[in-house]
Amino acid sequence: MIGNLLIISSPSGGGKGTLIREVLQTTPDITFSVSYTTREMRKGEMDGREYFFVDVPKFKELIAAGEFLEYAEVHRNFYGTSLSQVKKLTESGKDVLLEVDVQGAKNLLAKVPDAVSIFILPPSFATLETRLRLRATESSGDLQVRLRNSFNEVLDYEKFRFVIVNDDLETAVEELRNIIKAERHRTNRQDAVIQGILDGFDAAMHRFEKEPN
Ligand code: 5GP
């Protein structure tokens, strides 16, 4: 059984980080693929947990080595999804969450059309701005870049199969968990289980046919 690939995008400050953390802690059989980035590590982050932090030459080496399922330049830094990690994790049977920007989501969907795409929309620009300012992780220049980029990013919501408005965290967590669970019940995701059941019906039918009425 191969796990589902779940692509999650939102503008910076959309609150997807907290949402993803909550869902990872409270949903069984789900894991997160850690991306590579060239951006600076923030206070409280750890190499190998939020990202693998590398410099630009190393990132270019990884591109050349074919290590990325997709990569993109976002807010003046590079970010890339590790192909080997995604492969290993999905093959373990777990669902894998990928947190990427909208370009990354588009590129991933072109390569893995069966992936489940989810857009996290902040309830308003004002909320997004407040969240980013309160987070205080960016310099004022970087903050301006992120706010400016959000105008175009929100317009991309249509490219996603699901949209979650992240107003109340608890509600958003529940909605994301519900999507993950529902996707596990898609007909084509259950081929092996269904086949086992149908084989049982087939055997019973043959027994029935042999028995006198
Ligand atoms: P941050 O610097 O705030 O952690 O992330 C900035 C943006 O980069 C976010 O929109 C995030 O979703 C995106 N991002 C993180 N990892 C990847 C990745 O592997 N690929 C792409 N395309 N975007 C990523």
* Structure tokens, 142: 């970087």
* Structure tokens, 44: 């409280």
Split into its structural domains, the chain has a count of 1
Q: What CATH number is associated with residue 101?
A: 3.40.50.300
DSSP classification of residue 47:
B
Task: Please name which of 67, 63, 37, 71 lies closest in space to residue 52, comparing C-alpha atoms.
Answer: 37
Type of residue numbered 77: N
Helices (H), 16-139: 16-26, 56-64, 83-91, 102-111, 125-135
Minimal-distance CA residue to ligand 1 atom 24: 100
The model carries a pTM of 0.91
Ranges assigned E (strand) in 23-82:
30-32, 35-37, 51-53, 68-74, 77-82
**Which residues does ligand 1 sit against, CB inside 6 Å?**
12, 35, 39, 70, 72, 74-75, 79-81, 99-101, 103-104
* Structure tokens, 207: 């027994």
Q: Which atom of ligand 1 is nearest to the CA of 68?
A: 19
Q: For 150-208, what is each residue's pLDDT tens digit?
A: 999 999 999 999 999 999 999 999 999 999 999 999 998 898 899 999 999 999 999 99
pLDDT band at 122 (very low <50, low <70, confident <90, very high): very high
**Can you give the residue range of the structural domain that contains 168?**
5-210
pLDDT band at 16 (very low <50, low <70, confident <90, very high): confident
Q: Would you state the pLDDT for residue 150?
A: 92
**Greatest alpha-carbon span in the chain:** 83
